[in-house]
Amino acid sequence: MSQLSEQEIQRRTRQARSGRPWRRVQALVFAQETHCWLCHRYVDQSLPGTTHPMARTVDHVTPLWLGGDPLDRANCRLAHRRCNTIRNNQMRAAHRPRPSFTVDAASL
């Protein structure tokens, strides 16, 4: 799967985190799942969602920046905020281009 343009990523991110369709998917995930799909521990859904590291979030199995569908229920899973952040950081680091250096053999 090819990476998306920066504009397409931003569009998908806005679409994924706003509006009634997103709130429906989010509510469905919160109602149907009880454990973090990454660490397999129970998610206390009463914790404050934007501040507590173990609070509930909806994680996209295939990230939006890799072309995942933001509103597909099959692409959304319950996760702790901390687990979701760690996974996203690791995936972005793995996909980040690594610098390569070439040396002209004649200069050695």
Domain map of the chain by residue range?
Answer: 6-90
d(CA 96, CA 71): 26
pLDDT for 57? 93
Distance CA 43, CA 67 (A): 27
Q: What pLDDT, on a 0 to 100 scale, did the predictor assign at position 53?
A: 92
Q: Which CATH architecture has domain 6-90?
A: Orthogonal Bundle (1.10)
pLDDT in tens, 3-22: 667 787 777 777 667 789 88
In this structure, what DSSP letter does residue 59 have?
E
Q: What is the pLDDT of residue 74?
A: 95
Residue in the structure block whose two tokens are 């905020």: 81
Give the model confidence (pLDDT) of 47-103 as tens digits. Answer: 987 889 999 999 999 988 888 888 899 999 999 999 999 998 888 888 777 777 777
Q: Which two tokens stand for residue 92?
A: 């972005």
**Residue-level pLDDT at 2:** 57
Q: Which pLDDT score is estimated for 1?
A: 47
Q: What is the pTM of this model?
A: 0.74
Q: Which two tokens stand for residue 107?
A: 């200069």
Which of the 8 DSSP states describes residue 58?
E
Asked whether residue 105 carries a pLDDT value surpassing 90, the answer given is no
Rounded to an integer, the average pLDDT of 25-31 is 95
